[in-house]
Amino acid sequence: MSNPLQLTIEALAKEKGLEPDVIIAAIEDAVLAASRKYYKSNEDLHTKFNTETGEVELFAVRQIVNEVSNSETEISLEEAQKLYGADAEIDMRIEFPKATDVLGRIAAQTAKQVIFQKVREAERENIYAEYCDRVGEVINGLVKRFESGDVIVEMGWVEALLPRKEQSRVENYTTGDRVRAVIKEVNRVAKGPQITLSRTDPALLIKLFDQEVPEIYDGTVQIRGYVREAGDRAKVAVFSRERDVDPVGACVGMKGTRVQSIIRELRGEKIDIVEWSDDPVVLVTSALSPARVQRVTIIDEAEKVMEVVVEDRQLSLAIGKKGQNV
């Protein structure tokens, strides 16, 4: 690219994360809108960006017909052959250049508005296309500002929303803080794509395990069940596909390094890791640890109702804080 307008297009495209063709199409549409406003005719106007001159050329297109019924959009075969010789044929379309340097200030302002609108629309569509398939993915961002309790998170050149209801009750933020959250949903709204983040969704917990535990990442250890009370406690049931790999030990790490890293990220949220069992009695017994369970009876298998018996002094431990275990 050599001429000034083309260089400007390339710079704007790079800044907005768009293809240069999108900017060129916006400029062509803008000049077309301004031309229609200026000429106020029923001509079939078309614009074309000349990459050599860096100018937008305007044409009135007419179709070759035997009998002209609309002189603004049609031209007779006889007249066309006078201009282009025997090559002119019925139904061919001929472009007649029109001046653009007469459009004036008002038309230029119209063109400017159209360009801004088209670029903004393309930018929004770009953001939506990039993030709509990333729901459930963990991203990093910085706290930019606060709006009525909601946190606006900056992710590069894109802003996302961390609503108050998706924030852990034990967390407080200040401007500039680093935030790691999961993309909960991406919606199209009037102002553009709305990327909603969450710090309370259980998917964040699972993704953190996936990042911190290589055995989970490569599929050797699988998370078969999980439940989370954001800010208080989470329970994760894990299963190993290899007999030689301890699933609980792999998740805890040497001296608890792996699980402690996740706990720090979740601001001190307690995490219980138990080994998965296909036997619900064994699984429930493990999930209620360290409370010592005397007996587990399945009352209704379809409704997943069980009766658990513990000693009186173990009752509060089995129920958990605010009934978390039940």
Q: What is the pLDDT of residue 124?
A: 84
What is the Cα–Cα distance from 296 to 287, expressed in whole angstroms?
A: 12
Domain boundaries, the chain: 4-130, 139-198, 201-276, 280-326
By the 8 A CB rule, do 60 and 44 touch? yes
Backbone angles phi, psi at 300, to 5 degrees: -140, 105
What is the per-residue pLDDT for 239? 93
Structure pTM?
0.65
Q: What is the largest CA-CA distance in the chain?
A: 107
Q: In this predicted structure, what is the pLDDT of residue 1?
A: 45
Question: Which letter does DSSP use for residue 127 in this model?
Answer: H
Residue 204: the pLDDT is 92
The CATH code that applies to domain 201-276 is 3.30.300.20
User: In 10 A of CB 126, how many CB atoms?
Assistant: 17
- Looking at residue 72, what is its pLDDT? 87
What pLDDT score does 190 carry? 73
4-130: CATH, from 3.40.50.1100, 1.10.10.1200, 3.30.1480.10, 1.10.10.10: 3.30.1480.10
The CATH number of domain 139-198 is 3.60.150.10: no
User: If the chain, 326 residues long, is cut into consecutive pieces of 10 residues, what is the mean pLDDT of each piece?
Assistant: 70 78 84 84 88 84 88 87 82 87 70 75 83 90 91 89 90 90 88 88 92 93 90 89 92 92 90 88 77 75 76 67 60
Alpha-helical (H) ranges within the chain are: 4-16, 20-39, 77-84, 104-131, 202-212, 214-217, 247-252, 257-265, 280-287, 315-319
Q: Does domain 280-326 have CATH number 3.30.300.20?
A: yes
Matching fold, domains 139-198 and 280-326: no
